[in-house]
Every structure is written in structure tokens, then in C-alpha cells.
Amino acid sequence: MYILPSVLTIIPLQSAKIEAPYISTEILSVIESVKQIGKKSLIFYSRRGNARAWICADCGHYEKCPHCDIAFAYHTTPNKCLICHQCSQVAPFPIVCPECSGSRINPVWVGIQQIEDNLIKHLTNDMVILRIDSDTGKKATVLYDKINTSDIIITTQIGNSIVHPGIWAVIWLSFELNMSIPSYHIEEDIYNEISYYKKQGLPLYIQTYTPDHPLLREIIEGNTKSFLSYLSRERIDFRYPPFAELVTIRVHDEQQKKVEDIMRKLINKIGLLKKSSTFFAFDTDIRERCGGEWQQKIILKDRDLSYILTNLEVEIVRNRSVTLEWS
């Protein structure tokens, strides 16, 4: 009987033998070995369905917004470009990687459903796979029962630890894809999640194009004080909580023209109120439709934003088409 070691293993994707996108021979071997001892494998893959992301396959580089330190998302309409989903900054899609000048910088369209299909193709027929994402969301009690009868649990839920005594190996298929989630606290979520499973003494496997990434170094060393210093430097540089306030004002309505009118009034008023130190970004040509409503947003960052929000009380509090997120 093969018993897996209780260590953190980094798998460099440049040199790994790949059977299918993000599925290496080593990962398949781990899953089969876990099955042999009657246990379960937990796999994290952060992309639901067909995701919009891009990564350089030569060096693992992905472009970040210079204002937000958040990964750009890949868009094809109205033109092929990169867009920050926080401040709406637009950048051209690079012809070659700006980091290593490599040419393998194709968009990543592999979603969790394709990962599940490829695992089924490359594993023995008696493997039972449970996929957990927003498309298959279930109550906790139902999920626990499903996990009981599964050999592999694959999920998009980065930052939400899944607990079950049968889990014997935890796998992150792509460190870079996890890092490309458009959230300023994604590094904290990843660090806390991996640290949680390390404390359980479980074998951990992280596939990556950047084995020397500073966050991975912090994770391997497990020095929480060093990680907090690393995190603090980034948040100070990009003015994120707790060193500054971050406000997102979302405008939403079934009528697109109403959204545009409210946005215009808010933008004009904030433009008059803001200080020179205030980071101020907003959607212009970018419009999203969700739940039957058109949506646009405004982003504000500064040490103190109360002076702006106080003056926007009428526009925000008394308008059902405007919601506020303040952190």
C-alpha cells in the first residue's frame, strides 16, 4: 500500500509531463494513490465554466492593473484587450510576454467543467468526481453526503476550506489562475487556505509556472509575520484597507439610459468633491447586464472618503438604483 508523504510539493508546469490542460502525470498518480488507500483528493481550480484569463506558458506571467494590483481579464469585445474588473482600466493584449518575451501567451479558456471531463478521460473508470461551483451549489448537509460517496472533489471555492475526514491530498491545479482572481485580498485568501491544510498534516500539491513566486516562498516558509509584512507593503503601495478606504458605488437598473444618467451625475459631483490624493475610476463604455439590470460602477480610494460620501447622501441613500460597498 502506497502512503503519501505529508509535505508541500511544488510542481513546475514548464517541466511537468502534461496529459491534458493543467493535469500532469504526477497529479494523476497522486489521485490514483489516494484512491488505493480508500481516501479522497480535493482539487482547487478557480475557473467556473469558460473563464476569461491569460497566462504566459513560458514564465507564468500575467498582467496586473497598475492602479489596483489586480489581474487583468481577457476580453474579445468590442476589441481584443485586457480590462481591470475593478477600475475598468483597459490595456492592449500583448503580442509577446512583457516579462520574458515569450510568444505562448494565449488566453486560458479551460474551465472547471473541462477539467472534470479530462479527469474522467485519464483516470480509472471507477472514480467518482464531485464538482462544486456556483453552478452546482448545494446545502452544506447535501454536499457532505455527496463528498462521502466521492473519490475526487473539485471546486472553484478559493478561500472557503472544505473539511472532511476522508480528504487525504489537496491539489491546486494552477497557482497563477488562483492569483488572477480580480480581488485585492486574493493573496491573503490563498495563504490562509493553504496554511489551513498544512496544519492538518495533509500532502499538498501546487502546480505553477512560477515556483519562485514570493507568495509561494512565504507559504513554504510558513512565517506569518513575514507574510503580513509582505502583504502590508502591497496594500500600502496600492492604498487598500486597512491603510486606506475603498468604496465601490454600483449603479443598476433595468433601463440602460437611467444607469447612464445616474452615473453622469455622480461622476460630475465626485469630480468636484474629490481631493488630489483620491483615486477615482469609473465605467464608461463598459456596461454589464446581470439579473435583468444594466450595471456600471465607480471606484474610490483614499485615507478618508467620508467627506465625499456625506455629500452624496441624497444620490446614494435615497436612490434604489445605487448601492454602496465601503471597506
Q: What is the DSSP letter of 25?
A: H
Strand extents, DSSP E, 231-316: 245-253, 279-282, 288-290, 293-302
* CA dist., res. 272 & res. 127, Å (int): 61
275 confidence band (pLDDT: 50, 70, 90): very high
Find cell 468590442 and name the residue: 78
> What local confidence, expressed as pLDDT, does residue 177 receive?
79
Give me the long-range contacts of 257-260 (CB less than 8 A, separation at least 24): 258/321, 259/287, 259/294, 259/295, 259/296, 259/321, 260/296
Do the strands 81-83 and 90-92 form a parallel or antiparallel pair, or are they unpaired? antiparallel
Mean pLDDT of 250-277: 93
- What are the residue ranges of CATH 3.40.50.300 in the chain? 8-49+109-233
Q: What pTM does this model have?
A: 0.76
User: Class of the 8-49+109-233 domain?
Assistant: alpha beta
Asked if the bond preceding 98 is cis, omega within 30° of 0, the reply is: no
Find cell 477615482 and name the residue: 280
* CA dist., res. 269 & res. 284, Å (int): 16
Q: Does domain 245-326 have CATH number 3.10.20.440?
A: no
* CA dist., res. 136 & res. 42, Å (int): 16
DSSP for 115-150, written as a single string:
HHHHHHHHS-TT--EEEESTTS---HHHHHHHHHT-
pLDDT digits (tens, 9 = 90+) for 201-212: 889 999 998 888
- What are the residue ranges of CATH 3.30.70.360 in the chain? 245-326
pLDDT digits (tens, 9 = 90+) for 128-182: 999 887 655 556 667 778 889 999 999 887 656 688 899 999 999 988 877 777 7
Mean pLDDT of 295-309: 92
Mean pLDDT of 193-219: 88
Q: 86 and 180 in contact (C-beta within 8 Å)?
A: no
Output the average pLDDT for the chain: 85
pLDDT digits (tens, 9 = 90+) for 11-42: 998 889 989 888 999 999 999 999 999 999 99
Q: 178 and 155 in contact (C-beta within 8 Å)?
A: no
For the chain, helix, strand, coil in percent to 5 are 30, 25, 45
Residues 6+ apart with CB under 8 A from 321: 251, 252, 253, 258, 259, 262
